[in-house]
Homo-oligomer: A and B are copies of this chain.
Amino acid sequence: MTNTVMVEKAKVSKINEVDFDNLPFGSVYSDHMLVCDYKDGKWNAPKIMPYQPLTLDPSAKIFHYGQSIFEGMKAYKDDEGSIWLFRPLENFKRLNKSAKRIAIPELPEEYFMEGLTTLLQLDSDWIPQNPGSSLYVRPFILASGTGFHASPADEYKFIIACAPSGAYFSGKVRVLIEENYSRAANGGVGYAKAGGNYAGQFYPTQLAIDKGYNQVIWTDDNTHEYIEEAGAMNIFVRINDTLITGPTSDRILDGITRKSILDIAEDEGIATEVRKISVTEVVEAAKNGSLKEMFGAGTAAVVSPIAGFGYKETDYDLPELTNSYASLLKKRITDIQYNRAEDKFGWRYKV
């Protein structure tokens, strides 16, 4: 594959301004970014340029109609300095799945993959090596075409920006099972990583935070009887020794961490079930002691263990386990990601 990505290098690197021992999550950006423009009915070849502000007309549709999608992935550097991605083609495929639902033209695979790898090679010094650190990679597409009419734009920008990031908060969280608000409709856009899905979560999440919880467990919008996602993560529940997660649907994001966890659990001989999980079942299991664990799963935190949950004004605590599935699965998945263990699934991708 000949590389067709044009590169305009930054004159000065900002890397010396960054304290790699105290990295926040997702708020310091690397020297370069990739930009690919959709114009006159086609995606043009990607360009890498110094990380810089975007200039858009006030009538650009991104500002009015939420026409945007994104992905979230991480680049890892191993002890030898090699760079790895985790299942990047899955992110590419999901980006195009989101694109279709949000009426954004689908992106050619080579622009995504070549653009991504060229950018990571150029900014490889920005990939931190401290334990738990990584380069958070944010591919996104926004509608730059203009007009005050609610219809798809005729111009778009596909951008990849990178943020060297410390370990995501890895303590346990307390969650609130949502009884009123919801994040996704049947026949809606919940399965897409569409911008609007996230803004809609902010207010209910703030209400939960005000009540002393860290996060919301989303339930189906019709009955609020089935648990669907944990904030912006997929959710797993362990009842006795069975690990359960809900089936993906048009309301639930098909998480890459989720499906990797299912494969690893199977490989570990852990019984798994993919089926609807009712709130009643979880509450009953908490009461009778069979509820051993709950955790969120997603790229940022990998696995985010839940200490307890609130439901209908009652709080339920989960046990403190010494050998949790959560820690076992997190270790196995991150060992693959950081090239510290064999990759029998073929998930690692060398940059």
Contact = CB atoms under 8 A, between A and B. Distances in A.
Contact of A221 (B70, B103, B187, B196): B187
Contact of A197 (B62, B181, B196): B196
Given A185-B221, A199-B65, A55 B54 contact: yes
Given A55-B53, A59-B161, A102-B202, A180 B187 contact: yes
Residue from the set A181, A196, A201 with the largest chain B CB neighbour count within 10 Å: A196
A200 B206 contact: no
B196 A186 contact: no
A326 to B, nearest CB: 21
Given A182-B187, A199-B196, A232 B150 contact: yes
A142 interface: yes
A324 to B, nearest CB: 25
Interface in A180-204: 180-189, 194-203
A70 B65 CA distance: 9
Interface residues of A, number: 70
A200 to B, nearest CB: 4
A67 B103 contact: no
Contacts of A159: 58, 63
A25 B205 CA distance: 38
How many copies the complex holds: the figure is 2
Nearest to A138: B148
Contact of A189 (B200, B206, B222): B200
A287 interface: no
Interface string A50-64: 011111111100111
A63 B194 contact: no
Interface stretch (A26-34, A257-265, A271-279): A26-34
Contacts of A200: 66, 101-102, 188-189, 194, 196
A163 interface: yes
A54 B196 CA distance: 21
Contacts of A103: 199, 202-203, 206
A186 B251 CA distance: 13
Contacts of A295: none
A54 B56 contact: yes
A33 B51 contact: no
A146 interface: yes
29 contacts: A26-B148, A27-B147, A29-B59, A52-B58, A53-B56, A53-B57, A53-B58, A54-B55, A58-B159, A62-B195, A63-B142, A64-B138, A64-B195, A66-B66, A66-B199, A67-B202, A68-B199, A100-B203, A150-B198, A150-B201, A152-B202, A181-B188, A182-B186, A187-B221, A188-B221, A194-B199, A194-B200, A195-B195, A196-B199
Given A59-B161, A152-B202, A194-B196, 6 more contacts: A52-B58, A53-B57, A56-B56, A64-B138, A180-B187, A185-B188
